[in-house]
Amino acid sequence: MVMVQRFQQMVRIDQPDRKAIDWLAAMPECRDLSRSELKAAMQKGAVWHSRGKSQPQRLRRASRLLNLHDRLYLYFDSSVLAQVPLEPALIADEGGYTVWNKPSGMLCQGSKYADHTTLYRWAETKLKPERPAFIIHRLDRATRGLVLLAHSKQQARWLTQLFEQRQVTKTYRAVVRGCAPEEPIRCQLPVDGREAISNIRRLGHDSERELSLVEVGLETGRKHQIRIHLSSLGFPILGDRLYGNAGVDDPDLQLQCVYLGFDDSGRSASYQVPESQQLQL
């Protein structure tokens, strides 16, 4: 059995002009870790740095010289660092933003222990030319489909505003249990006390397996909105272990964002998952 090593450590810098990697290597908890292992942990997002009253930020450069009274944080979890990122598909590169087809199981956002398996980190390390990536919206880890990333703070503000003002068209597909009605459904059940609106349309039904394929258009974007709405209507998503009755033999969550559309400076920007890759019965 592989031993999982997990610890957190913070050091306050009391000697200026010393490299970050030297401070990490001097931590008692790191005595069994090589410098190569520590550098790899830095690249994977396990090390954070703060100065003065600023919020901690990830620090990836081992040679960074630290100032007096800086703080260095290490969040080490060998099991997290050993994880291998899944590979998303690039749908479109518009320079200031990109559109990705995220696979089920991939994270949009990391934790304090690492971010190397996230979509945004994949984009930062794989895109040419290289550029920073900013999260605009998220899909659950188990949900697959389209995700937008911005590549400048200005683009991030613009795209975030589009989502906040409900100017982005979002369409999902889901495989659900039961026979969804042929007539469209407009579900307005509040989520966490807030307005939530989903427009649901049946695309197909498998009477033998008692499954339906539905399309869901969102007018709002509450957390787990589609999963909650479909479950409340008696049609839980196949593989939903939180709001449905998924068993151990069921597949992963059968929910996918298949379309995103918005106005880009007068141009109709629309992106969709190729039909052959969209959920089917």
Q: What is the mean pLDDT of the chain?
A: 96
pLDDT digits (tens, 9 = 90+) for 207-238: 999 999 999 999 999 999 999 999 999 999 99
Token pair recorded at residue 203: 């695309």
248 pLDDT more than 90: no
Q: For the chain, what percent of residues have pLDDT higher than 70? A: 99
Given this model, what pLDDT does residue 44 score?
98
Rounded (10°) CA dihedral 172, 120, 93, 274: -30
pLDDT digits (tens, 9 = 90+) for 58-107: 999 999 999 999 999 999 999 999 999 999 999 999 999 999 999 999 99
Given this model, what pLDDT does residue 198 score?
98
* Domains of the chain and CATH, by start: 6-81 (3.10.290.10), 89-164 (3.30.70.580), 169-277 (3.30.2350.10)
Q: What is the DSSP letter of 244?
A: S
3 pLDDT more than 80: no
Given this model, what pLDDT does residue 82 score?
96
240 classed as catalytic: no
What does the pLDDT average to over 240-255?
Answer: 91
2 pLDDT more than 70: no
What does the pLDDT average to over 192-215?
Answer: 97
4 pLDDT more than 80: no
Exactly one of 14, 93, 115, 140 is catalytic; which is it?
140
Question: Which position has the higher pLDDT, 247 or 174?
Answer: 174
Q: How remote is the C-alpha of 243 from its chain's centroid?
A: 20
pLDDT digits (tens, 9 = 90+) for 34-47: 999 999 999 999 99
